């Protein structure tokens, strides 16, 4: 027996009575003759609420039937009362109708086609058949969409045979009866989702982000109360930033940009000085290391981080016939660097040394690094590498 979908004709229906057709999975999977609960479909998440006193955890579209998954077993009864979580339902209605409006505006203004949509818990997104969208066009689309919201245009739902449904923004591959959602003077789309009755109920439409995903431009947006909450959070964040900088809200972005530039310059200078210092350290350690019978100078060094060792390694292998064996204690790790004129392959030597004691690692013939299970194994690995030089 198929389930009559009450939300198709009334998205505002939040309470209903229905006959129980079947109960499965020890009372946790319930089938009804009719339902107002929207199942996950078309990118829109399912409704929540209560069914006969049991909380709904999921609503699944099984084609002809809709399965209601409940958190506690439903009592053995022939009739049941359902109550939809209105706050969640209306939020989804705002996001879904807002997406239709935004997609129609993007197509109207720029010819961009929406190829897929997603409605998430915190934000929604739509993918366009272009690789990028300029900031100016985002502002134009957002402004136009909000103007249509303010016009409070009617949003209508009709049922039309697929063979006679014309003027759809996106052609439907389905046959038979289609459910058409229309925004007056703007859009006609085949859709089974829940929608508001007028565009004014969408509330504000805010485009949050645009990014490239494969060969599409993905627009992240929020509508209605989500947009209000997001704008409030953005305002509070900007207020805290401005307060920390002792600046006004309007001056804060330029001040942050200027300070970021200063920080980048300072970081570049720090790295330059770090490399210069590493050069002096490498030369001092190199001069202190005795040359062996092959005129190799093996520098041993323990450091606080692998970054410190890598900087020292770059400076060390610039010296003639130099080898650096460096370690850090946490996590137990080893670095081996060999000057080109030594003829030694750092990657091979280190890999053999650490794998012999249960570690792993690798790298180039000049610089390689690896890790071992514990400090005791690190001592063994160092000894193994030194003996192989």
Task: State the CATH number of the domain containing residue 369.
Answer: 3.10.310.40
Residue 263 within any structural domain of the chain: no
> Quick one: 228 and 144 in the same domain?
yes
Whole-number Å distance between alpha carbons of 103 and 127: 9
> Quick one: 46 and 14 in the same domain?
yes
Residue 105 has pLDDT above 80, yes or no: yes
> Quick one: 100 and 223 in the same domain?
yes
> Quick one: 63 and 14 in the same domain?
yes
Q: For the chain, percent helix, then strand, then coil, each to nearest 5?
A: 35, 30, 30
Helix (DSSP H) and strand (DSSP E) numbers for the chain? 7, 20
Average pLDDT (45-73) is 94
Contacts of 207-210 spanning 24+ positions with Cβ under 8 A = 207/102, 207/138, 207/141, 207/142, 208/123, 210/132, 210/133, 210/138
Q: What is the pLDDT of residues 219-250, one digit of tens each?
A: 999 999 999 999 999 999 989 988 888 889 88
For 59, the token pair is 């609503």
Residue 253 within any structural domain of the chain: no
> Quick one: 126 and 224 in the same domain?
yes
Q: What is the pLDDT of residues 155-184, one digit of tens each?
A: 999 999 888 888 889 888 788 889 999 999
Average pLDDT (103-110) is 97
pTM above the 0.75 mark?
A: no
Q: Is 9 left (phi over 0), alpha (psi -120 to 50) or beta?
A: alpha
Q: What is the pLDDT of residues 68-101, one digit of tens each?
A: 999 998 876 789 999 999 999 999 999 999 999 9
Name the domain boundary from 34, 61, 84. 84
> Quick one: 189 and 151 in the same domain?
yes
> Quick one: 77 and 121 in the same domain?
no
Q: What is the pLDDT of residues 340-352, one digit of tens each?
A: 999 999 999 999 9
> Quick one: 318 and 195 in the same domain?
no
DSSP lists the bridge partners of residue 60 as 67
Residue 257 within any structural domain of the chain: no
DSSP lists the bridge partners of residue 34 as 4
> Quick one: 54 and 96 in the same domain?
no
Looking at residue 81, its pLDDT comes to 95
Whole-number Å distance between alpha carbons of 158 and 195: 12
Residue 1 has pLDDT above 80, yes or no: no
**In which domain, by residue range, is 17 found?**
4-84
> Quick one: 186 and 94 in the same domain?
yes
Q: Max Cα separation, the chain? A: 94
Name the domain boundary from 57, 84, 111. 84
Q: Which has the closest alpha carbon to 2: 58, 67, 69, 76?
A: 67
> Quick one: 131 and 49 in the same domain?
no
Residue 265 within any structural domain of the chain: no
Residue 251 within any structural domain of the chain: no
Residue 371 within any structural domain of the chain: yes
Q: How many domains does the chain have?
A: 3
Looking at residue 287, its pLDDT comes to 94
> Quick one: 96 and 186 in the same domain?
yes
- 3-state class (DSSP) for residue 127: strand
Residue 260 within any structural domain of the chain: no
């Amino acid at each position: 027996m198929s389930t009559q979908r009450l939300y198709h004709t009334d998205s505002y229906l939040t309470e209903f009575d229905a006959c129980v057709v079947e109960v499965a999975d020890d009372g946790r999977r319930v089938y009804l003759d009719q339902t107002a609960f929207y199942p996950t479909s078309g990118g829109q998440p399912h409704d929540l609420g209560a069914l006969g006193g049991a909380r709904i955890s999921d609503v699944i579209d099984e084609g002809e039937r809709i399965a209601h998954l409940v958190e506690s077993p439903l009592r053995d009864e022939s009739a049941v009362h359902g109550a939809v979580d209105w706050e969640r339902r209306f939020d989804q209605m705002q996001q879904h109708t807002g997406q239709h409006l935004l997609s129609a505006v993007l197509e109207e203004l720029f010819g961009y086609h929406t190829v897929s949509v997603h409605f998430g818990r915190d934000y929604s997104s739509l993918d366009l058949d272009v690789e990028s969208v300029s900031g100016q066009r985002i502002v134009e689309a957002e402004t136009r969409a909000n103007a249509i919201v303010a016009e409070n245009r009617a949003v209508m739902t009709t049922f039309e045979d697929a063979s006679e449904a014309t003027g759809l923004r996106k052609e439907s591959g389905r046959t038979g009866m289609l459910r058409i959602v229309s925004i007056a003077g703007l859009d006609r789309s085949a859709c089974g989702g829940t929608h508001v009755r007028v565009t004014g109920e969408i509330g504000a439409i805010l485009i949050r982000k645009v990014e490239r995903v494969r060969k599409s431009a993905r627009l992240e947006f929020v509508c209605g109360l989500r947009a209000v909450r997001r704008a409030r959070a953005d305002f509070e964040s900007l207020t805290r930033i401005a307060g920390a900088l002792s600046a006004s809200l309007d001056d804060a972005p330029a001040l942050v940009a200027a300070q970021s530039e200063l920080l980048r310059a300072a970081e570049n200078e720090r790295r330059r000085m770090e490399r210069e210092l590493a050069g002096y350290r490498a030369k001092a350690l190199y001069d202190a290391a005795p040359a062996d019978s092959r005129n190799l100078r093996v520098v041993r060094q323990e450091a606080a981080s692998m970054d410190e060792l890598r900087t020292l390694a770059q400076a060390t292998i610039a010296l003639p016939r130099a080898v650096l064996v460096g370690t850090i204690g946490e996590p137990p790790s080893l670095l081996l660097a060999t000057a080109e004129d030594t003829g030694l392959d750092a990657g091979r030597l280190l890999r053999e040394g650490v794998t012999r004691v249960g570690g792993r690692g690798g790298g180039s013939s000049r610089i390689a690094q690896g890790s071992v299970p514990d400090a005791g194994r690190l001592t063994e690995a160092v000894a193994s590498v030194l003996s192989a030089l």
